[in-house]
Amino acid sequence: MTQMRTHTCGQLRLADAGEKVTLCGWLENLRVVGAGLGFAVLRDFYGTTQAVIEDEELLKTFRSINKESTVQITGVVRERDSKNPKQATGDIEVVPESVTVLGRCRYNELPFEVNRSREADESARLKYRYLDLRNPDVKKNILLRVNVVAALRQAMTAEGFLEITTPILTVSSPEGARDYLVPARKHPGKFYALPQAPQQFKQLLMTAGFDRYFQIAPCFRDEDARGDRSPGEFYQLDMEMAFATQEDVFDVIEKVLPPIFAKYGTYDIASQPPFRRIAYREALETYGSDKPDLRIDLTAKDVTSLFEGTEFAPFQNQTVKAVPITDCSLTRKQIEKLLADCEVQSGAKGYWFKTDEQGAIAGGVAKFVDADKAKALLDLGPNTLVVLAAGELAVKMAGVMIKTFGPACPGHMDKERYEFCWIVDFPMYEIGEESGELEFCHNPFSMPKGGLETLLKAERGEIDPLTIMADQYDLVCNGVELSSGAVRNHDPEIMVKAFEFVRLGEEDVKAKFPAMYNAFCYGAPPHAGIAPGVDRMVMLLAGADTIREVIPFPLNKNAQDLMMSAPSEVTQKQLDELHIAVTMKEEE
């Protein structure tokens, strides 16, 4: 196999009995059961093998070796008396004649037991990530990632896409998040930016005449962490197609992803094409979210009319959303505990009532409910729980209640599958929460539906800019947004007009996007694309709780690399070379 070993620790079988072998790996464990008898477990990338030490002097040598040292053993394979069916090599054992320490672990105590590293504090796991990754259960997520990325590359190549890498050092542009800036030594006072996405470059490739592009693209955004988002850097399956429409993009993704999800996922069932299409506003009204989990069969209903003239103050003159849940046997205590969880997630208050076995309404806010109107409006039958929310956060709360009560109520969630959908017809513009002015809702490079004529109608006051739809779409799987994509705005006249609505004129567009604007002036093809997140895909496939579980060397929630101590201070000489002065704001 190699000059240092004849076999791996996951390779030997009963057919190898009697053969003299040499193995290399980490000393996972040593169990001494008596004078001159001990059992050692050797682990490498491929698996584990048990060694039985029957020589007293050799056992002394093993006892002097700390766990997690790398060793080489040479010995004879024999059949085990007590076989271990849970272990691939469980039918055999190796009786070593010699052991050599290749890399000594110099610590008697480890930060955590390698095989139980997932039980350790996350900070310790990230600081000693190289030990954490020795855990086979942790390592398998990284192997899954490797296989998924290879499968994505193969599938995209089979669809006629060319893998082309785009620059890492580029220019700062308004992509929606903070840039990571890199000072330019040869250009004092100027900075490169790490790309938030290869958005402009892939569109320029289309303008340059490349028909189908993709890459497993690194992206960099200075944003806060959450369960499905890693701070710092992430990877996406970036793709773009020339002379393409929304449906062309959908067709490619619907061919590529389901087989990969079905093959590599925790569940072996994935949506088959065509994926369901749901308009953005419909998704909010029906599921309380633009990231619906279609494995759950619960939906939200507007029941504002049910509480017209109500004496219940929280519902007076408010939008009220209800989520009816049939055949629900939750107790009052369970209902109120789940509602409390929803309130923490949404910031809204939750309410409820239910019907008994005879269909009579009771519990919660039942005394404020007109039973006949409720049964007609919600088609209520016996044993139905209705959870409610009111006010500005009613829609958000309804979405949280669906995703919380669905898994908690038997029969309302088909968990073991991957359910995809497309969210389409996004608004082109929205009112910014901070600015209070018109801003792009999603990607500023999207084509408005209806093109220039729609923008001119809005400019003339014939339609409200907030009613303009964009040729944008999101890919959602099991309640997780995997990607946003769009048919691109490839016409410089339409681009300028679109940016005018957010108070940027032609000169601003030329200044902020000079390459793209100029390239489009030389004749650009209609093009469209999307970029599903690789990290999020692997997280779903692995059934992991956080995205950090599927990244080899992730940053922590504060965007720190505890293992490498990054970010770190640099020398004054380095700062001087870059013409940078560091000023620290005094704490108040």
Fold of the 137-267+530-573 domain: BirA Bifunctional Protein; domain 2 (3.30.930)
pLDDT given for residue 588 in this prediction: 55
Measured distance between the N- and C-terminal CA atoms of the chain, rounded to whole angstroms: 64
Q: Which residues pair with 527 in a beta bridge?
A: 242
The reply to whether omega before 136 is within 30° of 0 (cis) is no
As a whole number of angstroms, the distance between CA 343 and CA 400 comes to 9
Q: Is 433 exposed, middle or buried (0-12, 13-18, 19+ CB in 10 A)?
A: exposed
CATH number of the 14-103 domain: 2.40.50.140
How many Cβ atoms are within 10 Å of 36's Cβ, its own excluded?
Answer: 14
pLDDT given for residue 256 in this prediction: 98
Question: What is 296-408's CATH number, 3.30.1300.10, 3.40.50.2300, 3.30.1360.30, 3.30.70.100?
Answer: 3.30.1360.30
Token readout for 304 is 């504002």
How many Cβ atoms are within 10 Å of 318's Cβ, its own excluded?
Answer: 17
Residues 6+ away with beta carbon under 8 Å from 559: 222, 225, 231, 232, 567
Residue 217, phi-psi category: left (phi > 0), alpha (psi -120 to 50), beta (remainder): beta
On whether the pTM is more than 0.75, the answer is yes
As a whole number of angstroms, the distance between CA 231 and CA 217 comes to 16
One-letter identity of residue 73: I
Grouped pLDDT means (10 residues each) for the chain, 588 residues: 90 97 97 91 97 95 97 97 93 97 96 96 97 97 98 98 97 80 94 94 97 97 78 94 98 98 96 97 97 98 94 94 95 96 96 93 94 90 95 96 96 97 96 90 90 95 96 96 95 95 93 92 97 96 94 94 95 94 77
Which parts of 327-407 are beta strand (E)? Answer: 350-355, 361-362, 385-390
Which parts of 116-190 are beta strand (E)? Answer: 162-163, 181-183
Residues in the chain: 588
Q: Which residues of 56-94 are buried (b: 16+ CB within 10 A; e: fewer)?
A: eebbebbeebebbebbbbbbebbebeeeeeebbbbbbbb
As a whole number of angstroms, the distance between CA 509 and CA 353 comes to 54
Token readout for 503 is 């108070």
Angle at 291 between CA 150 and CA 346, to 5 degrees: 130
Which parts of 333-419 are beta strand (E)? Answer: 350-355, 361-362, 385-390
Where do the structural domains in the chain lie, given as residue ranges?
14-103, 137-267+530-573, 296-408
pLDDT given for residue 50 in this prediction: 97
pLDDT given for residue 2 in this prediction: 76
pLDDT given for residue 227 in this prediction: 64
